């Protein structure tokens, strides 16, 4: 029986006459073969639309426990014990227990002794009375209660107390309603429309339809839209932090770069092992880039071959063919160098700038639990006059503090394009050890001078992977659970939003 069936039953019942009332929904439901809870639900709904008015009722009555029902059916424990003893003449306690059951024997024996219906004879129990000579008071009380429809006043206070103590009855309280017609009563429910539909607009039904009022208190339905991958959530948070620090995003929407921008412009010699096909994915088709800025190309070539800006260069023959090779960028620094070149050559000349990027890079690596062939880099750079290593350390500290990493250490390192270079280590409070979290440095004059940047302009830069902080944040230990075809969709759908604790806020 549905709520609608109950609604119909209630409205039909009330249709008999304007004065008709349901005196009490509880017995009414029973006699109408309806579930009382469903009836109450239907009444609440009818009440909201003023089809009915209700008064609240509360009725208490007794009900039998399992034990009470059993006494009513078979007699009380004391009568069962007396019967058994009369049948056998006499019984030892274990024999009595075997005959009537342990529970019945225990309660029955006690009560028979108290009433002096039985006595002890050595180890045995013998009857003193016959069961038809005595009265089964408990059973009689229960019969009386049943015959009086379980009403409260069917039992004296003392009897009720005794029966409750013997766990024969319970007091039950039922909340129910007295129901009569409301101001908007109609014998049939007219459902209010919940939505304005195309059909209603087509037919004109919307003009007369009654609409449900808006309920602004209900929770909205879950939107089944897209979900941001954990990497994208962390990226969004990093982006926000970097923008707060005054950094502008670089356009990184190009995965294919020339070797020229990925390596040569960064003063990375053409014989450098990273430029091997074992480390880099070269593109077969088209294998060569179309163009590079020729004047700048010449200056880069000269820097590699014979040096400048106080450097002696690498002293080898710079090959155009090598520079023009297309590849999947191995780092986003390939984009940083293009931005710096633009910054140096923009109309009006160089102006100080802060740039960042967060995007994908590719390396021809052996894959394992922590390495894939593609990953994401976060990179930041500041170009300004007379920057020092102190500026780099300060900027890095501010950034990491904003993602909640306060303990940092710097270790001298080597990059072909930065001098000095520093690896960044952060203290991992879960692992309780220092872990490498990034790389950084000041771009070399050999890289900056060919671009045409003023001589006293310094560029400080740092980079880190997006995967490392994401795996720590979302407690993912295998990178294949984070990225690639084995990622569980549910993980992405259920990943909480990413917020980093900003340690600069409290410091």
For residue 379, the minimal CB distance to ligand PHE (Å) is 5
Pair 361, 262: CB distance under 8 Å = no
Kindly tell me which of 6 and 330 has the beta carbon lying closer to ligand PHE.
Answer: 330
For 383, counting Cβ atoms within 10 Å of its Cβ (0-12 exposed, 13-18 middle, 19+ buried), the class is buried
Question: Closest CB to ligand PHE belongs to which residue?
Answer: 463
For residue 253, the minimal CB distance to ligand PHE (Å) is 18
C-alpha span between 119 and 256 (Å, rounded): 105
For residue 377, the minimal CB distance to ligand PHE (Å) is 6
392 phi and psi, to 5 degrees?
-65, -50
Residue tagged 């800025």 (tokens) = 293
Pair 375, 401: CB distance under 8 Å = no
Kindly tell me which of 176 and 470 has the beta carbon lying closer to ligand PHE.
Answer: 470
Kindly tell me which of 61 and 238 has the beta carbon lying closer to ligand PHE.
Answer: 238
Region label for 499, one of left (φ > 0), alpha (ψ between -120 and 50) or beta (otherwise): beta
For residue 317, the minimal CB distance to ligand PHE (Å) is 26
Kindly tell me which of 72 and 335 has the beta carbon lying closer to ligand PHE.
Answer: 335
Please name which of 269, 71, 270, 227 lies closest in space to residue 162, comparing C-alpha atoms.
71
Return the beta strands (E) in 311-398 as ranges.
326-328, 353-362, 374-385
Kindly tell me which of 326 and 439 has the beta carbon lying closer to ligand PHE.
Answer: 439
Over the Cα atoms of the chain, what is R_g?
A: 44
C-alpha span between 460 and 420 (Å, rounded): 10
Kindly tell me which of 37 and 278 has the beta carbon lying closer to ligand PHE.
Answer: 278
C-alpha span between 486 and 302 (Å, rounded): 48
For residue 440, the minimal CB distance to ligand PHE (Å) is 5
C-alpha span between 123 and 125 (Å, rounded): 7
Kindly tell me which of 141 and 258 has the beta carbon lying closer to ligand PHE.
Answer: 258
Q: What are the beta bridge partners of residue 409?
A: 425
Kindly tell me which of 176 and 333 has the beta carbon lying closer to ligand PHE.
Answer: 333
Residue tagged 């300060």 (tokens) = 394
Binding site for ligand PHE (CB under 6 A): 331, 333, 379, 415, 418, 439-441, 461-463
C-alpha span between 482 and 494 (Å, rounded): 13
């Amino acid at each position: 029986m549905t709520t609608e069936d109950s609604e119909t039953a209630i409205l039909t019942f009330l249709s008999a006459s304007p004065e008709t009332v349901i005196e009490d929904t509880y017995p009414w439901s029973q006699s109408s073969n309806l579930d009382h809870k469903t009836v109450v639900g239907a009444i609440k709904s009818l009440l909201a639309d003023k089809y009915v008015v209700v008064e609240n009722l509360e009725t208490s009555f007794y009900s039998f426990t399992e034990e009470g029902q059993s006494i009513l059916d078979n007699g009380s424990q004391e009568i069962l014990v007396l019967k058994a003893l009369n049948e056998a003449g006499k019984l030892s306690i274990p024999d009595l227990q075997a005959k009537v059951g342990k529970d019945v024997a225990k309660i029955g024996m006690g009560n028979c002794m108290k009433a002096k219906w039985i006595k002890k004879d050595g180890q045995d129990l013998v009857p003193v009375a016959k069961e038809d000579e005595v009265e089964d008071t408990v059973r009689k009380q229960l019969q009386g209660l049943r015959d009086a429809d379980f009403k409260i006043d069917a039992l004296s206070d003392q009897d009720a107390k005794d029966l409750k103590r013997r766990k024969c009855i319970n007091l039950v309280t039922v909340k129910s309603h007295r129901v009569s017609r409301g101001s908007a009563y109609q014998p049939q429910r007219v459902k209010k429309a919940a939505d304005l539909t195309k059909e209603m607009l087509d037919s004109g039904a919307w003009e007369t339809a009654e609409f449900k009022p808006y309920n602004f208190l209900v929770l909205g339905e879950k939107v089944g839209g897209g979900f941001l991958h954990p990497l994208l959530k962390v990226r969004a948070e990093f982006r926000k932090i970097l923008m707060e620090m005054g950094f502008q995003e670089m356009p990184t929407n190009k995965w294919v770069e020339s070797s020229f921008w990925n390596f040569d412009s960064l003063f990375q010699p053409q014989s450098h092992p990273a430029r091997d096909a074992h480390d880099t994915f070269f593109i077969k088709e088209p294998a060569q880039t179309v163009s590079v800025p020729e004047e700048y190309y010449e200056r880069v070539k000269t820097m590699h071959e014979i040096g400048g800006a106080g450097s002696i260069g690498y002293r080898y023959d710079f090959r155009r063919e090598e520079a023009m090779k297309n590849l999947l960028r191995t780092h986003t620094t390939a984009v940083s160098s293009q931005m710096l070149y633009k910054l140096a050559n923009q109309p009006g000349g160089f102006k100080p700038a802060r740039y960042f990027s967060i995007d994908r890079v590719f390396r021809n690596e052996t894959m394992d639990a922590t390495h894939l062939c593609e990953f994401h880099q976060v990179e930041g750079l500041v170009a300004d006059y007379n920057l020092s290593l102190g500026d780099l350390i300060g900027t890095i500290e501010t950034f990491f503090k904003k993602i909640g990493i306060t303990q940092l250490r710097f270790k001298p390192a080597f990059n072909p394009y930065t001098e000095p270079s520093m690896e960044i280590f952060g203290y991992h409070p879960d692992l309780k050890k220092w872990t490498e979290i990034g790389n950084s440095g000041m771009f070399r004059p050999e890289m900056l001078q060919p671009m045409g940047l003023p001589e006293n302009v310094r560029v400080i830069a740092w980079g880190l992977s997006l995967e490392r902080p994401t795996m720590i944040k979302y407690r993912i230990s295998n990178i294949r659970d984070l990225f690639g075809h084995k990622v569980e969709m549910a993980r992405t759908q259920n990943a909480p939003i990413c917020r980093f604790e900003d340690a600069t806020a409290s410091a």
